[in-house]
Amino acid sequence: MEMNIRMSLLVLLFPLMSYGQLADSLYEFQSFRLTYENDIFTASDRYYSQGIFLQYEHHNMKLNWLEKFFIRVPDIERNFQTGVSQRAYTPSTILSDTLLVGDRPYAGTITYGAQFFSRSRSRNYTLNWGVNAGFIGKPAFGEYTQTTVHKWIDNAIPMGWEHQLNTSFVVDLNFGVSKSFFSRSRWIRLSLTDLVTMGTLTNDMRLQGYLKLGYIGLRRQFYLYYLPELRIVAYDGTLQGAIFAVPSKAALPARSIERLVSEQQIGIYLQYSPFFASAHFHYQSRLFKYAWNHMWGGLTIGYMMWDSYKKKR
């Protein structure tokens, strides 16, 4: 874990305030994407078990009624993203029907989110904010989706969902700033991000890097990417229960939570307009005492609808 944290810091503690290049094009599009993550891709079945994400993106198009929600920056380019996500979490084993004290509790979350990105084309930085609201507990249907998937793939049926964290409404706000580099290049892109989240489910700060290597055109792209992250955790509602939820016997105490978490994601992205797809593997250091590190994989498919493209003069 120490080596992973050092690698993350080496990438992330880069001078954030230096200026990059001006992007060479303006473009407008809408897109839809579906992402599925599961630790079955890494031959495991514990902790973060699966996630389903349906997202809509609206890039640089005119939406007068939404423009007031974007943070103002010079030479603005707007990006609006919204969608629904569901996640399911389990203990280190799903074959026990008793409460496993000290292990990760069963938990399901379902949230709707909206994100507003304001990019300064002339200075290559982005300010963003967003909100996620939904439920943790039975209304998230974590037991139903995990059990259904396990039946489809003829895997063991989880036995302890009756011990999941108590139901509660949750809402989180996040604020971020990122800096882009090499934005004119068709072969390499780099961005660095600082993201703070506050709410009833998650309270943390994330330092992220995002490196792309490959061919990065407008309508055709093929690249490998690497996404390291260092997360400073103040509160994790998927381990401790939502802040305003009725306390649960399954919840982990604050003293068990790891305050520094390292995450690494590597993947491949392919776009042949109007379709795009990606695949990734994700590594996560332990989240609480006596836990193991964890890995999972994910697949994304999407469809893009172009509105216009004009060369920047």
Domain ranges of the chain: 2-15+38-307
The predicted structure's pLDDT at residue 234: 98
Better-scored residue on pLDDT, 234 or 14: 234
pLDDT band at 13 (very low <50, low <70, confident <90, very high): very low
pTM of this prediction exceeds 0.95: no
The predicted structure's pLDDT at residue 184: 86
Lowest-pLDDT choice from 181-185, 231-235, 280-284: 181-185
Q: In whole angstroms, how large is the CA radius of gyration of the chain?
A: 20
The predicted structure's pLDDT at residue 307: 63
Q: Are 229 and 178 in contact (CB under 8 A)?
A: no
When pLDDT is averaged across residues 32-43 and rounded to a whole number, the result is 95
CATH of 2-15+38-307, one of 2.40.128.140, 1.10.3370.10, 3.20.80.10, 1.10.10.10: 2.40.128.140
Q: Which amino acid is at 138?
A: K
The predicted structure's pLDDT at residue 308: 54
C-alpha distances out from residue 263 to 34, 134, 232, Å: 22, 25, 11
C-alpha distances out from residue 199 to 130, 231, 295, Å: 12, 16, 26
- Residue 132 in this model has a pLDDT that exceeds 60: yes
